[in-house]
Amino acid sequence: MATVASAIPKPRRRTAVARRFDSGGPLTYLFLTLVVVGSIFPLYWSLVVASHTNAAVYEYPPKLLPGANLFHNLHRLFNSGVVNVDFAKALVNSAIVASVVTASVVFFSALAGFAFAKLEFRGRKLLFVLVLATLIVPVQLGLIPLYIEMKHFGWLNNLKAVVAPNLVTAFGVFLMRQYIVGAVPNELIAAARVDGAKTWRVFWHVILPAVRPIAAVLGLLTFMTTWNDFLWPYIVLNARNPTVQVAISDIATVAYVPDYSLILTACFVSILPLLAVFLLLGRQIIGGIMQGAIKG
């Protein structure tokens, strides 16, 4: 490794593992703060609305500070006399669906992504293009025929109908493949093969550790998109076995007009499990110490 100090015009304090740049100056923090404020504000405001009454939604100037109504609204949310939906059940259903789908997507995407990225086989290019092609079709129309299929399988109103079509996604395969192409040096695989490893061992011992950051990202994004999915669960599940987005849509207490303070309370409650998943997977995304796998 070349010595670092001599050629750099301005002396900078660098640690031994100079993987990252130094922490940024004030401009950097300003930029980041703006980004974060912009990202958080709508969420914050929905908390504000959730803690007021419905009339406060369209106030002008708009209310910016939380009110005292949050606990009252929370109580209404889980009270089946007020709301026709078992919100707690919806949370559990969504947790089950999102967990199963996430685990499945990450695993099978890594598998297929590895094959497309590092294995040679006939028709590889064509099959990969086929995978990409499946991304193109807009979801909305496919709902009807997919529903008919579920009717034939007997899976209506069942969580299986929401899980099964999403067990492997083209997005996941594509993402994994792109990452593995760039991030896993062929030398590593060659070394493993020289040691007698069959393809499965290569996958399990070389690829999986190497894709940890992207797997965490894929897991996070998949969990989130599954959690947020509305169109399909809305038609195939009913209000008695809902996922959380379906339940939120079912919370309407006035004839033609929604009760926004209650709805946003539900929205707010629904993201708490997501935040928990963030914290769990968040640290993985910055793989941290990767030196073991990649050596120049």
Q: Enumerate residues 55-94 that contact another protein by CB under 8 A.
A: 55, 57-60, 62, 81, 84
Residue 75 or 139 having the CB closest to another protein: 139
Structure tokens belonging to residue 263: 């709805």
269/266 Cα distance (integer angstroms)? 5
Question: Collapsing DSSP states into helix, strand and coil, what is residue 126?
Answer: helix
Min separation Cβ 236 and another protein, Å = 8
Min separation Cβ 261 and another protein, Å = 11
Show the site string, 249-278: x = touches another protein by CB under 8 A, - = not.
xx-xxxxxxx-x--xx--x--xx--xx--x
DSSP state, 205? I
- Cβ–Cβ < 8 Å for 234, 224: no
Min separation Cβ 95 and another protein, Å = 9
Residue type, 281: L
- Cβ–Cβ < 8 Å for 271, 283: no
Using alpha carbons, select from 159, 162, 178 the residue that is nearest to residue 170: 178
**Binds another protein by CB under 8 A, chosen from 69, 87, 174, 226:** 174
Show the site string, 4-33: x = touches another protein by CB under 8 A, - = not.
x--xxx-------xxxxxxxx---xx-xx-
Min separation Cβ 204 and another protein, Å = 8
Structure tokens belonging to residue 49: 């609305």
Residue 75 or 134 having the CB closest to another protein: 134
- Cβ–Cβ < 8 Å for 169, 222: yes
Residue type, 34: L
Residue 9 or 68 having the CB closest to another protein: 9
62, HSE (Cβ side, Cα atoms, 13 Å): 9
Residues 214-243 within binding reach of another protein (CB under 8 A):
214, 216-217, 220-221, 224, 228, 230, 234-236, 238-241
Cβ atoms within 10 Å, residue 8: 9
Give the total of residues touching another protein (CB under 8 A).
Answer: 165
Residues 101-140 within binding reach of another protein (CB under 8 A):
103-104, 106-109, 111-112, 114-116, 118-121, 124, 127, 131-138, 140
